[in-house]
Chains A and B, each alone.
Chain A
Amino acid sequence: MQHHQANKRNIPGFGLSLGLTLSYVSLVVLIPMVSIVIQSANLGWLGFWKTVIDPRVMASYRVSFLCSLAAAAINCFFGVMLAWVLVRYRFPGRRIMDGLIELPFALPTAVTGIALTALYSDKGWLGGPLAQWGLKVAYTPAGIVMALTFITLPFIVRTVQPVLEQLDPVYEDAGRLLGASGGRIFRSIILPEITPALLTGFGLAFARGLGEYGSVVFIAGNMPYKTEIAPLMIFSKLQQFNYGEATAVALVMLGASFLIMLAINTIQARAAGYVKE
């Protein structure tokens, strides 16, 4: 170990690269993030508590939480299916389909927002027929779920895809030879392999959904208690120059994202440990 470390020091540029990295991260990320802590200290416990348990704020947490959860769940289903189809099957247009998966990351969220609103409003191409069936999408929680499903689609496909690529079809063939049904093969052979990746993708999609703003505000309709998301609560409090309350709502959201990130890291650490054994 001693020897190894001494060797590593032969490579030049340690001081410079670490110095640059630390200064940049401090200036762009750490100092601004610390200002949140300072600001909420100014607010005091009582002010913080009153803001956070305000019924309208609580409702916005619930909307954000449930809609992100629903979108991530929908993408678990379609994400695994898309990853499977892209990895295992060959058909015309497969490469284009594979290339399109990242579209939600490349398209500005505001553009996504207005396009989906036009599409799913009562006069839209898809919203019109759906409204006749009695299903309103735009300006309801369903619209929020739709926008979040679009935005978080790439996460699960792109986390599950590499795992499926590594998975040798030999095991499935063996299962089939032993007389297992398709469903049984999926449950007993494929699902256990992709579960860590699926959970990671789910966590990433869920976290992104909680914080997403641009694509949602247009289609949500932003009705208090019904379709108002937590990021919008922060935004409107900032518009009223109510910085203290905005910070309080933000702190709760930061706590939630921190817990999700912790969960993802634990899952990944466990999966890595499992592989090593």
Chain B
Amino acid sequence: MSTGNDRPLRLLLIIISVLFILLMLVTPLVVILVEAFRSGLEAYTKAVTDPYALKALKLTGLATVAAVVLNTAFGLAAAWAITRFSFRGKGLLTTFIDIPFAVSPIIAGLVFILTFGRLSYLHPFLAAHELKVVFATPGIILATVFVTLPFVAREIIPVLEARGTDEEQAAALMGAGFLTIFRRITFPHIRWALLYSVILCAARAMGEFGAVSVVSGHLRGKTNTLPLHVEILYNEYQFTAAFAVSSVLVAAAIFILVARNIVEFTARKESDYVR
């Protein structure tokens, strides 16, 4: 950077990088928007407000909220236990938490079919009580919760690990209870990391396809999420409708990216301020 003679190289690398990003990341987005409006605004509105699309949107929303709420509560509990105490088997527990990131979404769907489906030991019990998990809404929610399980825990654990336990120990010695310690000491340190991980968790939950596809049984209007609805439309050669519904998911993805960047920017500024 200090010498002037690497200028051509610098320019070349910047140009290749910008072209690569435009070609790889931006053109697919543009294609979706162009295809979505190919048959005009009316066709677009019709595809997006179709009753099946709205039902799929509702189920996607439900699964996303469930995944975010459950996995945030879990992530906080897991981070507290793992970083604030020493106990045997901690490494093993951390490995178990990482499993959903390591397995294919299809395998995530498969394990729920095996656990709750026809061949399961639980099946007689579930059938006797008329409980449907697989090919029903609970299965969709479970699969979504499974694939997004590590997000919050994995983001919070390193932050708390780096902080150490001195402040919490001091507060505890002075007689502060759990809630006071968490609210006054721990939470202010992790709030940006928490918000960041919640955003990533929501993004993955909203877009999950493979795992949900396996457990859904593809029952239209019943177990369809938005990504599955896109697949059905596409396979029925209703391309314009498929891209129209996709454009809704693109809007959500861009919203998520912007939110993520704002959170990161604010967090960086704040930590500089503290320093």
Contact = CB atoms under 8 A, between A and B. Distances in A.
Interface of A: 5, 7-14, 16-18, 20-22, 24-25, 28-33, 35-36, 38-39, 78, 81-82, 84-86, 88-89, 91, 93, 95, 97-100, 102-112, 114-116, 118-119, 124-126, 149-150, 153, 169, 173, 176, 182, 207, 210-214, 218, 231-232, 234-235, 238, 241, 243, 246-247, 250, 253-254, 257-258, 261
8 contacts: A14-B81, A17-B77, A28-B146, A28-B149, A29-B96, A100-B26, A106-B254, A235-B214
Interface string B164-177: 01001100110001
Majority secondary structure, B binding face = helix
A211 B103 contact: yes
B204 A105 contact: yes
A20 B178 CA distance: 15
A125 B23 CA distance: 11
Contacts of A86: 17
B82 to A, nearest CB: 8
A153 B21 CA distance: 10
A231 B115 CA distance: 19
B169 A8 contact: yes
A21 B92 CA distance: 13
Contact of B111 (A35, A97, A104, A257): A35
Give the size range of B's interface with the partner: 35 or more
Contacts of A118: 31, 35, 239, 243
Given A36-B114, A108-B209, A235-B214, A18 B81 contact: yes
A21 B16 CA distance: 46
B271 interface: no
B250 interface: yes
B14 A89 contact: yes
8 tightest A-B CB contacts, nearest first: A211-B104, A108-B207, A214-B209, A213-B210, A32-B111, A115-B28, A17-B81, A106-B253
Given A29-B99, A109-B207, A111-B246, A11 B24 contact: no
B200 interface: yes
Interface stretch (B40-48, B124-132, B187-195, B256-264): B256-264
A111 B250 contact: yes
B219 interface: no
B234 A218 contact: yes
In this complex, which of A20, A110, A232 has the most chain B Cβ atoms within 10 angstroms of its Cβ? A110
Contacts of B181: 11-12
Given A11-B168, A20-B77, A36-B114, A182 B6 contact: yes
A108 B168 contact: no
B57 interface: no
A112 B145 CA distance: 22
A25 B172 CA distance: 28
